[in-house]
Structure 1
Amino acid sequence: MDEEEENINPDALSEEQRPEGSHFYENEEEDPNDTITKVTGMYKDWFLDYASYVILERAVPAIEDGFKPVQRRIMHSLKELDDGRYNKVANVVGHTMQYHPHGDASIGDAMVQIGQKELLIDTQGNWGNILTGDGAAASRYIEARLSKFALEVLYSPKITEWIASYDGRRNEPNNLPVKFPLLLAQGAEGIAVGLSTKVLPHNFNELIDASIKILKNKPFQLFPDFQTAGIADVSNYNDGMRGGRVRVRAKIGQLDKNTLVITQIPFSTNTSTLIDSILKANEKGKIKIKKIEDNTAAEVEILIHLFPGVSPDKTIDALYAFTACETSVAPLGCVIEDHKPRFIGVSDMLRISTKRTVQLLKQELEIQLDELEENWHFASLERIFIENRIYRLIEEEETWEGVINAIDEGLKPHITHLRRAVTHEDINRLTEIRIKRISRFDIDKAQEKIEALEGEIEQVKHHLEHLTDFAIAFFTKLKEKYGKGRERQTELRIFDDIEATKVVLRNTKLYVNREEGFIGTGLKKDEYVTDCSDIDDVIVFLRNGTMMITKVDDKKFIGKDIIHVDIFDKNDKRTIYNMVYRDGKSGPSFIKRFNVSGVTRDKAYDLTNGNTGSQVLYFSHNPNGEAEVITILLRQVGSIKKLKFDIDFAKMAIKGRSSKGNLVTKYPIKKIELKEKGISTLLPRKIWFDDTVQRLNVDGRGELLGEFRPSDKILVISQTGKLKVIIPELTTHFDPDMVVLEKWIPKKPISAIYYDGEKERYYVKRFIVENEGKEETFISEHPNSQLEIVSTDYRPVAELVFAKVKGVQKENLVVDVEAFIAVKGFKALGNQLTADKLKQVNMLEPLPYELPEEAVAEVTEVPEPTDIPDEDVQIDDEGQITLF
């Protein structure tokens, strides 16, 4: 073929020009008989196959046994290798690879996770530390074997469904016959394609108790429990389903006034990540700490050293607000059921598990019954065969068939009481009985064996008839055998919301340029106002009577002639602003007291009547509602006679910010002077203690502690014999072991009965708090010393209940504590109460006591801010204010 023929374009040829029978293909290898498959369809099918594989075979646990496939294969391999001794984890991993079509790394990691949960695997060696995040040693250095619990609840080969392994060489369990809610006990987490699962772990004993309640048709509740302990708020748990959320906090205590100690950490964190988050918050200025020490070993101990003057309570709240000391966990219950993913709550998971456990127990009992009946059947046949000498009938038989028939005929007169027909297999077994056994056959022992089997059969039948009771007994036995040491570790508590603005460290400074009208943290050459943080709000008042709330910024223009700037707290109802302003350029002057709350950020609010030329003549900011006395000096206008008079803000009603106020005078004011600083005109603040969140509040939640003035304090006494008097700040944290929390009355004595560990005697003491600014211990510091009871009644009465000694019970003794001992010093040992061993000490009804008149006298004060109409204000002939 020449060059011209080689370059023929087939599309350019007409049908006539093309050679007969010739065909042109764009690809020489293309075959017209092949079907065309679109690549998009192939990818769709492959993706679905891959997604299904990941969901079913890797990431999501099965509802039946709570295992992912790799976990199930590990437990199966451990059972096959089990001989009571430890096996190298590397050997277990290698054995598991016979069933698992993936690498040894995934098997080893999964096995370490199971071992760290300390339930199914008895470990030996360095398996890592869930508290610190340290990894396990190499698999060749660590060993494992099945725990006794796993051997009891995981395996039952006779009722296990078997399937072929991935290569068809071996059989593996489709699901293990787990007779326990293992999925809920261990938890599970996995990310598949298009879905994920996160089942939180729950308490071993609580799961058993809940399973028993299900069997008894009683209501139950399940809440998570974590190995890392900590404190959890499960109010939004939502039964572990999508949309739920669990807040988890570290347990933080106060070692001393400059040291905090973290003893428990939140779930899903470790000490390394926790410390990193604290250091980052410190670098960003959210908190202020001196240094951190990590002393964690078997238990968590992280010491946080604070700078002098830094509030421990605010630092604790800041740690929760800005670090990993508080985390939020979103549960998502997803399991594999009937080869499909199903979203389900933990309550339904437990119901399914409990129902499955009952069915597994039933299957085991049925198999056991069949085996017992078979044993009874053959034992009865054996007795008939030997006792009636049927074996002699085969002596003259020459064929095997004749032997079988002879035995069959010989048995017929004696088998009417048997529970099933005699088969050829039964007769074959009889022929296998040895002569030695026949010669030593004991009829009495044979009968005892038969009767024992009958007793076991009746017992198994009873269990089958009362299957629920049998299942309850099974769960109860599990709790008795394995429940010790598995008590709840995570404390459940409702958390109080922490306002970041109240606990954030104010690590920068706020400045103001009053004339130009700028505020900000970058105006370092201008007037310093206060310390602030980058998330604070600022309240600004201008001379023209406008007010604005805005965020802290580097530099922001508000308006010229700024008269007041401060950090704004929207929940502060006790800060009162006192103001006198002129309405318009030459209008009358008004006086008002108001509180600011419920405003829109960056919106200007006019505190005057809104007339052009209005001006603030006097302004004061009072954090606790103080009311001063001011002197008004008027300009000489016309025939005005009284140019000077005083006004007491205490006589002014506290109204809203938009109120007009009360008329001061219609004449021009020359000057306003402060004559006398005032005291708070607000009623004492009522404070409650909410034991569900262990916090103080002013919202009426919990127990009312009393009405508090600025100088009032709270008395706190703990079970360890420590006492302190504190300012009632709402950010204060309280230890759960406190026994007294009440308003402190300085002259009220405290009575305590305690055991002195050094002297081995019981003492009683009465004392007054001497050092209110320091936490002190009022019992002896011997490690065996302990506080029995404490009272803040004026005239307490105690009842001593003595322990029985050598069968002798001493009568209870009632002690009038006031008559027994006088009030002494704080450090006094007290008077010996008894040397006998006490069973307990009870406080009885105290004796009557009348408070001195000065202690119960009431002080009449102006109530909290309210809007009072202006009708009660009258104006005299001079055009000046007259109150009431």
Structure 2
Amino acid sequence: MATTFEHDSERLPLNAFAEKAYLDYAMYVILDRALPHIGDGLKPVQRRIVYAMSELGLSAVSKPKKAARTVGDVIGKFHPHGDSACYEAMVIMAQPFTYRYPLIDGQGNWGTADDPKSFAAMRYTESRLTAYAATLLSELDQGTVDWQPNFDGTLDEPETLPARLPNVLLNGGTGIAVGMATDIPPHNIREVVDATIHLLHNPDADVDALIEHLPAPDFPTGAEIITPATEIRQLYATGNGQIRVRATYTVESGEVVINELPYQTSGAKVLEQIAAQMTAKKLPMVSDLRDESDHENPTRLVIVPRSNRVDIEAMMAHLFATTGLEKNVRVNLNVIGLDGAPKVKNLRDLLSEWLTYRTNTVTRRLEHRLDAVTDRLHILEGLLVAYLNIDEVIHIIRTEDEPKPVMMDRFSITDVQADAILNLRLRHLMKLEEFKIRGEQEELEDERAKLEAILGSKAKLNRLIADELTADAEQYGDDRRSALVERNQAKALSEADLMPSENITVVLSREGWIRSAKGHDVDAMGMNYRTGDEYLADAPGRSNETLIVVDSTGRSYSMAAHKLPSARGQGEPLTGSLSPADGARFVGVAIGGEDLTCVLASTAGNGFATTLADMASKQKSGKATLTPGKGATALAPTTVAGDDPEVCVVTTAGQLLCLSLEELPKLAKGKGNKLIALKAGEAVVAIQAVSGDQTLVIHSGKRHMTLKPAERDAYRGPRASRGKRLPRGFTQVQRLSRQS
């Protein structure tokens, strides 16, 4: 016979059960694990650690105990979770580079700024509370907070701690819950207290008024806050944003010494990042790195420039942009409010709500003390009755079987007063004791009057709160560590800027093979060329400058000059790096700074002035810069340098015209204007820009002719004029060049 079992159960659809279970888990993570409470600024595990240590008597003046003892008490009595997670939370509260005002004074290895998780096991370390932790605990036994049962109902623990300061802002914290997170940066006590007191006395104050007192976070590791004031104001107005923090450095004997790093940045990691750039030859201005950090100088990273000619500001700007020397610290002021719900709060709402918490705490403390004073005065009244009737009291006690009700009836005293009389010791029956009772009565009456006055006056209560905040700020406050500085945004150096700058001459052959020779004193025409190939053009410049190549269709291309093959060989074909159109051939090169002026022209006699920046193209196929026109091709470009520049144009008919550069239009691309008048069948052979002190060289076969500035007068004329014919023997010009 089958046996059936009856039991209480609830049937739910799987989707409903899963939804409820997940929501319960999410709320647990949010409220009991990840987010701090606005009252004391602590997460549950942190609160339990601090409370457990206070119960163990681990005050700032006591002898420290093993951390394992504290962790054991915490997980055994209040926090039934893993010991490693509990110990890690404890370590964070002891690290002076993580907490602005540490709650735990640790002895032993509690981690370093380079590796915060390098702390020793809890069986090796010892700890006690810091003096600052007293601001969380000093009022705990004065009826200030609510208590709740621990996880197994055998003990009580405080729901929150009665914080005397806005610890939620002072030490901040991070946490990741389900669907939300918190990132609260640390702040300076003095600034937070000033802002809080201002809001206490001016409840209608807005965020703008508060940031006059609390301008920005204050990180324990110092460094500079370079976020503009307008962005910080927006951050505090919304509760969300970012703070940009930059390392600080000094220059000592030509070496850069970094002495403060951004919050939660590892110096060892920064050195690794710099070293990686050096290994990749992307940081030629740095010759050496050293870590000279020690006990006296927790952060001292030394960067040695290659020479005293290195621009240190530019070098550091590059390092700020490419390493952890500058970072964004995320800010998300998400806390559990007094209503028990998580919410992102702006600065005003956060401080206002904390003031509500503090006002309630102080009120409960005063009421608790008032009740104690009233109860003591009540007992003192009964004791005074006993001293005034001491003989009769003794007689009643000696003769009556139940003296308590007799005394209550005889002297009209309460049950509590009668118990106090019966508990008196014989040695307290001296005559002097009456004077002590009256003196204590007077003191307590004065204290009761003061307590009632404070509780009955909002202004006096606010004054008391402000005075206590000021006293704590004076006791535990210190100067700001993170300076507020306006800085330009750090910009990484370009690849060309990072390359060594040295003189080079770029040589292009007629078949489109290119190479680079060191120096400017180079015989480009006398170099060795491949069979069937010959010299076409060359351009002197520096290895870190912009290199432009122009083809016959007028398209221009950019190349990295420092990546060109050496002139010891015959070079490499440009078609390996660039993709010109079918039938196009390369006609010339130009090299220089991005702002360098360059003249482009076509065989049809049209041209214009532009810059190398306008000619640059990152595409392998280049960009259309010059439009030669039907039947015409582009000529080799010529760069402009020196004073009073002019452009010399020579035609197939041997006509030479020298015109001022100012007569040319300045364009980014196009056809340009007519440079020289041409007859039918004529074309422009070459152009060359020369300055007022340079010599023009005209090449015709193996012969050449030089024209100094004064000798060019005969060939000068307005744009689009015919020019003058060159002497016999130079009517067939191949190219033009210039000499200094």
Normalised to the residue count of structure 1, the TM-score between the two structures is 0.63
| Structure 1 residues 580 and 127: alpha-carbon distance in aligned structure 2, compared to 1, 3 A threshold | closer
Unaligned runs of at least 5 residues, structure 2? 517-528, 531-537, 564-575, 695-716, 725-740
1:176 paired residue number = 161
Alignment of 1:375-774 (within 5 A): 375-387=376-388, 391-392=392-393, 395=396, 399=400, 403-411=404-412, 423-464=414-455, 465=457, 466-483=460-477, 486-502=478-494, 505-506=498-499, 515=510, 539-547=548-556, 555-558=577-580, 560-566=585-591, 569=594, 575-579=595-599, 581-582=601-602, 586=604, 588-592=605-609, 596=613, 602=619, 606-608=624-626, 611-616=629-634, 619-622=637-640, 627-633=644-650, 644-649=656-661, 651-652=662-663, 655-658=666-669, 663-667=674-678, 669=684, 672=687, 675-677=690-692
Residue 123 to residue 33, structure 1, CA distance change in 2 (3 Å): closer
Distance 1:30 1:507 in 2: 87
Relative distance call for 1:124 and 1:518 in structure 2 (3 A) is same
Map 1:795-810 → 2, pairs under 5 A: none
* 1:81 and 2:56 are equivalent in the alignment: yes
CA contact (8 A) 1:250 1:262 kept: yes
| Contact preservation (8 Å) 1:233, 1:492 | yes
Query: Could you say if the C-alpha distance between residues 626 and 363 of structure 1 is closer, same or farther in structure 2, counting changes exceeding 3 Å?
Result: farther
Aligned mates of 1:365, 1:230 — CA distance in 2: 42
Contact 2:404 2:418 in 1 (8 A): no
Alpha carbons of structure 1 residues 93 and 877: separation in structure 2 relative to 1, 3 Å: closer
Q: Structure 1: 5+ residue runs without aligned partners?
A: 1-21, 412-421, 570-574, 638-642, 680-872
Note closer, same or farther for the CA distance 1:630–1:182 as it changes in structure 2 (3 Å cut). Answer: same
Letter in 1 for 2:585: K
C-alpha separation between the residues in 1 aligned to 2:650 and 2:397?
146
Partners of 1:76 and 1:255 in 2: CA distance: 48
Who is 2:734 aligned against? none
Quick one: structure 1 residues 508 and 48, their matched pair in 2 at CA, closer, same or farther if it must change by over 3 Å? farther
CA distance in 1, matches of 2:241, 2:322: 22
Distance 1:162 1:342, change over 3 A: same
CA contact (8 A) 1:532 1:567 kept: no
How far 1:300 moved relative to its partner? 0.6
Larger relative contact order (C-alpha < 8 A, sep ≥ 6)? 2
CA deviations 1:194-232 (Å, max 9, x no partner) are: 332222222222222221222132521242222222222
The separation in 2 between residues aligned to 1:35 and 1:451, in whole angstroms, is: 66
Deviation at 1:57, TM superposition (A): 2.4
In structure 1, distance between residues paired with 2:467 and 2:461: 10
Equivalent-residue separation in structure 2 for 1:462 and 1:622 (angstroms): 88
Q: Displacement of 1:367 after TM fit?
A: 1.5
Match of 2:251 in 1: 254
TM-score normalised over the length of structure 2: 0.74
Task: Return the offset for 1:549.
Answer: 5.9
Deviation (angstroms), 1:335? 2.2
Is 1:115 aligned to 2:126, yes or no?
no
What per-residue deviation string (whole Å, max 9, x for no partner) do you get for residues 627-676 of structure 1? 52344455659xxxxx5553333x44773424765543313556545553
Query: SS where residue 263 of structure 1 aligns?
Result: strand
1:100 and 2:122 aligned: no
CA distance in 2, matches of 1:544, 1:77: 82
Offset of 1:609 from its aligned partner? 5.6
User: What secondary structure sits across from 1:556 in the alignment?
Assistant: coil
Give 1:473 deviation, angstroms.
Answer: 0.7
Cα pair 2:546 2:559 within 8 Å, conserved: yes
Q: Which residue of 2 aligns with 1:304?
A: 303
CA 1:545–1:97 in structure 2 vs 1: closer, same or farther (change >3 Å)? same
Matched, 1:333 2:326: no
Letter of the 1:269 counterpart: T
What do the CA deviations read for 1:556-605 (whole angstroms, capped 9, x no partner)?
Answer: 32563252354775xxxxx24242624xx54x545546685599864865
Task: Tell me how far 1:32 sits from its aligned partner.
Answer: 14
Report what 2:179 is aligned to: 194
Contact 2:636 2:686 in 1 (8 A): no
* Residues 510-519 or 344-353, more deviating: 510-519
Q: Tell me the SS of whatever aligns to 2:227.
A: strand
Normalized per residue, the structure richer in helix is: 2
Residue of structure 2 in register with 1:369 after alignment? 370
Alpha carbons of structure 1 residues 410 and 76: separation in structure 2 relative to 1, 3 Å:
same
Aligned partners of 2:671, 2:268: CA distance in 1, in Å? 59
Post-superposition shift, 1:78? 0.6
Is residue 150 from structure 1 mapped to residue 147 from structure 2 by the alignment?
Answer: no
For the Cα contact (< 8 Å) 1:394–1:406, is it kept in 2? no
Q: Distance in 2 between matches of 1:103 and 1:37?
A: 32
Write out aligned runs for 1:796-835 (5 A).
none
- Count residues with an aligned counterpart: 629
Match of 2:473, SS state, is: helix
Overall identity of the aligned pairs, in %? 24
Hey, what's the Cα distance between the residues in 2 that align with 1:367 and 1:296?
Answer: 52
**Displacement of 1:113 after TM fit?**
0.9
Structure 1 counterpart of 2:462, which letter?
T
| Structure 1 contact 127–135 (Cα < 8 Å) conserved | yes
After superposition, give the CA deviation of every residue in 1:31-82 in whole Å (9 maximum; x if it has no partner): 9999876655554444333333333322222222211121111101110011
| Partner SS, residue 498 of structure 1 | coil
